[in-house]
Structure 1
Amino acid sequence: MATAAQRIDSTLAPHARRLAQARIEALVSADAGRPHDYALRIGGLYASFARQRLDGDARAALLALGEAAGLRDAFRRLFDGATVNTSEHRAALHVALRSALSETVIARDAHAEATAARARMADLVAALEASDVTDIVNVGIGGSDLGPRLVVDALKDFGTGRFRVHFLTNVDGSDAQHLLAGLEPARTAAILVSKTFSTQETLLNGAVVRDWLGGSERIYAVSANVPRAEAFGVAPERVLPMWDWVGGRYSLWSAVGFSIALAVGMDGFDALLAGAAEMDAHALDAPLAQNLPVQHALTAIWNRNALGLSTHAVLPYDERLALLPAYLQQLVMESLGKSVTPDGVPVGLDTVPVLWGGPGTNSQHSFFQALHQGTQTVPADFIGVVNPAHPHADNHAALLSNLLAQTEALANGYQAEDPQKSYPGNRPSTLLLLDRLEPRSLGALIALYEHSVYAQSVLWGINAFDQWGVELGKRIAGELLPAVQGEDVAVADPVTRALLDEIRARTARG
């Protein structure tokens, strides 16, 4: 039986060779129907793949690859609660947080637990709304920070105005020092978000906040480890649950989104989940050729393995989505940054690209020079919003014109007499357009990326739901902490010993 690497190589390599000299502009010109045939609309989200460097035969080969990898069955296994996280022997049922699309017992039970937790969260939201609290500090890191932070920032136009929501994540004490300096303890509550309630950064920052508040009476927790939260001083009635079948980077739909609900209200939070549920149903039921997450995933596989492109940019042309690239860095690179299969066998081909980006039009004045004229081709997702939430029509027209111009310029290029002023073009991109940026459409957009990541993991034959690569550094840091604090402990690595000596020599005393 062919491995994932063999299947991808044998399927795509002939088309990659055939299209090695193909120009995106020529592919578009040769097919009058391409602008429409290479596009999909799901509710308020429109996607155009017309400026990807592939043709109909390559697309057919990609679809055949998806069929051979069993993508339809893989999505059904995900939704049914099969053990897709094989290294930790767990399901990955983040979809059950927002939709009930399976009749299996494990999926129904997970959805029921999520619904009950959401009802408890609604009660806590109501209690806080009735209090004199004006500021909320969400203390967490990774998936306990990036998702809620993104959503709160993106949906600021839908905020209830009842609370100012802040995020404390970095273990660097400067972060806590500067944040708390602008708040009043008597009018502030905090949420500590940690599945195990053993995350070093969260506990250290939580202790700083607890001391600043003068106690834990206004501290809430979201955790799977209630005893640890209680030991920290959080009363059980103020602890909302997490589960081992939801990974941190897939958890904003759960009580991890407590800060989201406080920012936009429970109606806004429910609308966010409804948008994700709409994308869930589409991912599960739509044929592969009309399946937006699958098409997004197949395009990513083409760019990475057929064209050999090693990075990918995410470029939102809406300031409210400025944090999306950072959120997707974790979702994509933590999920797909794997070099072996669940059987421990080398994958045999390149997996995740380096994902990066920033908002337009700011980015046009920084790194777009390299996108247009650099030696490396960087495929990109451009994301725009058709209808703004502000009255400044001229600004929005300029924003959209720049969005359209950049995708056109990257694809078509421009030849000038002076080579320094020429643009090679042939740089592929996907354009995602939201009718409006609102809770429902944002939920659909984030779920699109989640399902695309899962589809890519299936195609590559890797596990998208573990993250063992983050553990080694944390373990070594724990071993080194006593030495950094001044204890006389053995340190094996000679470079680390020299660095510790330098730190000790330069540490201010008294």
Structure 2
Amino acid sequence: MAEALSKLWGELESIEFPTLSELFAVPDRLSRYARDLELPGGLIRFDWAKTHLFADAERVLVRIAAAQNLVEKRRQLFEGETINNTEGRAAEHTAQRGVGSPASVVEAEALHERMQGLVEAIHEGLLGEVKSLIHIGIGGSALGPALAIDALAREGAKVAVHVVSNIDGCALEAAFKACDPATTLIAVASKTFTTTETMTNAASAIEWLSEGGVDDPYGRVIALTASPDKAVEWGVDDTRVLPFAESVGGRYSLWSSIGFPVALALGFDGFAAFLEGGAAIDRHFLETPLEENVVVRAAFADLVYTQALGCQTRAVFAYDERLTLLPDYLQQLEMESNGKRVTADGHLLDRPSAPVTWGGVGTDAQHAVFQLLHQGTHLIPVDFLAVKMPGHDLDPIHHKILLSNCFAQGAALMAGKASDDPARAYPGNRPSATILVDELNAATLGSLIAFHEHRTFVSAVMLGINPFDQFGVELGKAIAKQIDAGGGDGFDPSTEALLAAAGIGV
């Protein structure tokens, strides 16, 4: 099996890829590689035409997919089987969206109803006047809510949400300064309810409430966790604990009770629309043949660049201010999921895994990093994300310039420009993909996130790795705990000197 797979990857590596200009000489290039999906929130165009995907490469990738049992692994994912083999559990984030094993979908619906009841009680004033929520979490427990709140609730939020993740007290202090303890709730988001950064910040939030004159500070706390007993033991009333299933991983948890701040800011109807947008992509990914599947096509292109063309990074640029946090969100999703050096069965991976995901916001990035994209020595595939309808009421010229720049960058990367002056020559043949959303709303944001989740999953299956564990984050955390406890002898001289210089020597 390993030898056959190695041979298939060798076939992909040996392909002589035409230039993008040569690929566009094929008459049906655009119709083949650009597809519009009519989704609950509106139309989304997935345009992969300006990538180096073409029939010869796809034929090999389909054979690799068959050898790695992609269709079967997809079924296992959606049916709630133990696909996260290293931790012995399922990965049931799709069940949160209503697409999964029937029992898990029913459980998710019941937990969502519990969350809905609490959200509506807060909106109706049954917990007193609530103007603000400080949402405390880290990793997936914070990145997802922060992205959704920033994208969807910049104006008109029913409750102002402040997301705090960093253990640096400056982050928590900034939230405190923006809120009144008398009208603020605290959400503590932690799957285990033991995460050091989160629980330390939560304790400081309790102290802030108490010092601010709140008689029962723990009564102002909502716990979002897969360990409800630990939340109650910590001091949260069990009526204000919103559980989620152990089979929902942290970076996939926005669809669960971790989405509470989104529901509180938008109203539960908005959160329900977010779920339905994700479910629509679930159905497309599950039901559409591999050759026509926008999720699979994106993953295939990613693999062309990492496995055949030697690309070590992938850039993501959102040409919409509301999607400023999307590159950060995708960094965790892709690099924590697929940044592995062993296969799911424990063998050393014999080829590159995930690329480094990075990016920014257009048009800012054009004046910072696009020099390297156009004329540097690195080949870096780029994803552009844009929204047809602006998120503001200013002169339409703002949005016209924004979108013109987005589309011009993709065209320029592909076409390049010759010049007798080498410093002014652009080599071209540099790939990009573009996702164009008709309107940014809760449903389309849900679709975008689910699309990237499944894209990450397909790449993982093709490489034979498990995208649902993250043991690589543990070692540094364990050593930090040793230092905090006054232990951890035997550090290298540099680390010991740094600890001494900082006044925290062990």
**TM-score grouping bracket, smaller chain normalisation:** over 0.9
SS of the equivalent of 1:404 reads helix
- 1:72, CA displacement in angstroms? 1.6
User: Quick one: distance in 2 between partners of 1:110 and 1:7?
Assistant: 39
After superposition, the CA RMSD in angstroms is 1.6
Write the mapping of 1:56-455 to structure 2, written as runs, cut at 5 A: 56-101=55-100, 107-131=101-125, 132-156=129-153, 160-214=156-210, 215-391=217-393, 392-455=395-458
Per-residue Cα deviation, 1:270-294 (whole angstroms, up to 9, x for no partner): 0010011010011011000111111
CA 1:333–1:289: 2 relative to 1, 3 Å: same
Amino acid at match of 2:445: L
Cα distance in 2, alignment partners of residues 429 and 83 from structure 1: 35
How many pairs were matched up? 491
* Per-residue Cα deviation, 1:390-436 (whole angstroms, up to 9, x for no partner): 33311111111101100000111111121111111111111111111
Q: Which amino acid aligns with 1:40?
A: R
- Which residue in 1 is equivalent to 2:22? 26
1:306-334 Cα distance to aligned partner (Å, 9 max, x none)? 11100000111111111000000000000
Question: Equivalent residue of 2:254, what SS?
Answer: coil
Q: Deviations over 1:232-289 (max 9, x none)?
A: 2111110010222010000100000000001111111000100110100110110001
Q: Deviations over 1:421-479 (max 9, x none)?
A: 11111111111111111111111111010011111111000000000000000100000
124-133 or 276-285: bigger deviation: 124-133
TM-score normalised by length of structure 2:
0.94
2:40 pairs with 1:40: no
- Which amino acid in 2 is paired with 1:146? L
Q: Which amino acid aligns with 2:90?
A: A
CA distance in 2, matches of 1:66, 1:239: 42
After superposition, the Cα gap between the structure-2 partners of 1:155 and 1:8, relative to the gap in structure 1 and judged at 3 Å, is farther
Q: Distance in 2 between matches of 1:448 and 1:332?
A: 12
Query: Does structure 1 retain, via aligned residues, the 8 Å contact 2:13–2:309?
Result: no
Counterpart of 2:376 in structure 1: which amino acid?
G
Structure-2 residue corresponding to 1:461:
464
Distance 1:203 1:333 in 2: 25
Q: Is the CA contact (8 Å cut-off) linking 1:195 and 1:243 kept in structure 2?
A: no
Residue 6 of structure 1 aligns with which residue? 6
Deviation for aligned residue 1:123: 1.0
| 2:467 is the alignment partner of 1:482 | no
Answer yes or no: is the 8 Å Cα contact 1:24–1:51 preserved in 2: yes
Cα distance in 2, alignment partners of residues 223 and 307 from structure 1: 42
Secondary structure of the corresponding residue to residue 385 of structure 2: strand
User: 2: distance between equivalents of 1:327 and 1:298?
Assistant: 21
- Counterpart CA distance in 2 for 1:219 and 1:491 is 41
Residue 489 of structure 1: how far off its partner (Å): 7.2
Q: Retained in 2: the 8 A contact 1:220–1:238?
A: yes
1:495 positional shift:
2.5
Q: Secondary structure at the match of 1:137?
A: strand
Tell me the residue number matched to 1:104. none
Partner of 1:267: helix, strand, or coil? helix
Secondary structure of the 2:191 match is coil
